[in-house]
Structure 1
């Protein structure tokens, strides 16, 4: 069952209007948005407003599978096509026949799989792994990512021809920080749901201080993070009959860490500001900064590029692009 898409901000309503117009059109759709913005909910809306609403909606998070497994999971495999394969396996395309296939985290798919996706879109055909018979596919493809696909295509990390086929039209979901009008609306919605779950008699509301905190926070995890913050606040407030005032935005922060941070903040007041000499070659300076940063993070991550990307708050493909740009590709990448 489709979950609710809640919001009344102009940016959000514009997205819903675009989805309604795109839904009946039998073309692939690309959904772009940061983590936690509701990309899967948009895919559900596209499906249930389309002519395929009574057919299967099948989903797959591409980032959760290795190259060999995602190939088999998407297109299926024949018995004995690889070690341990017993019997014919029905892939997601086959299961989504006449319906919609939603591929989340599309940017993580290997180039070999991207080539097969391109063939399905262009010719409506695919083959099972280990098979030789072409199977016809009548599937509406909806793909989602938070990566910059045009930039990845320029770096050779994503097939430009596949990007062209997917980009019949692109739905850009605004981050929550750009939907200020929706923050308190969503907060109240999740608070009331949590009260019902905990069998509390009523929702006591938020204090003006709490509301201001909600509006000023940047929400890097978007709606998903907001839901966690609100549900946490409701259960911690418990049966108290006073409005919620305290919100915990970072549940990983501890009291002793806060003390250390305060001490560091006081010490930083005496830190000298870096001075620059002008004129300067900004591009050269930026390159030196990037190289120094990459060298340090790769060393600390023991040259595991996935871990290094996490340490920098980048996607794996973004870090790989930087490594290639500065010709550091000789380092281990796993």
Structure 2
């Protein structure tokens, strides 16, 4: 409670019984993820008809997670003369549609550039690798030869199983670390993050559940063990370091199957005044040539193509705010952030 204002945080990984108990006693502010909030509204435990202010935080991420139906139904239950604020790091079609339908004559506020770009406080490095084995070996060399006692490293992977396997491999070598992903219990995720923040462990293995909304100020290095599913997620991952006036480093591994991202990555590196490796330029040229050849031959199996192995496959006074660039994301892991504030 702050200055006599009662609030509650409700989310899917928390104790539903305790959340219900707090809500039924009455609160002024609810901070919620859309799935659990919709659950409690449907059960008539939470009544949102009297809500006067609504904040949709990380709107793009919530849509990316597939919560659009729940969001739409929740918004219909709230009084139309509410004040609405929507924040989004990117500006995909789904967020535009949501803003157009549920915001009345919104004021648009932009923080920073509208272009998608990584902070210039981060030195971005790339390394081409052949396979998973080479990735693992390079990670071990980085930890043993390049990390110092003052460093904190977050390693982003594309799959929950990879996070678990890497953390087990490190533990077997006597290297303390924590792992965080959507299949871990909420209490385990909170403990892992707290250990990392407090410096009890210096290495955090994470899926994209940690790429947004988590602020650990003293992260010195981000490693993209697996290349993210799109360039927007790359920018979010890299943005975990070099924050609040500090500098940081990112190291990204790329395999042949990542070639479709090369052209967009070159633009991000140029905008950040980073060195563009010739190997990345060559990769982008090869991909463009392959796509031209495919178009000339009259089609194929899809945009990625030529893969061998790899990982597979309103009302009132309304406001809208955004930060960074614009684009869309697709769900891979079932991990993510985003929520409602009332």
Structures share fold, TM-score greater than 0.5: no
**Higher RCO (C-alpha under 8 Å, 6+ residues apart):** 2
- Between Structure 1 and Structure 2, the one with more strand by share is 2
Instruction: Look at both structures and tell me which one has the larger radius of gyration over its CA atoms.
Output: 1
TM norm structure 2? 0.29
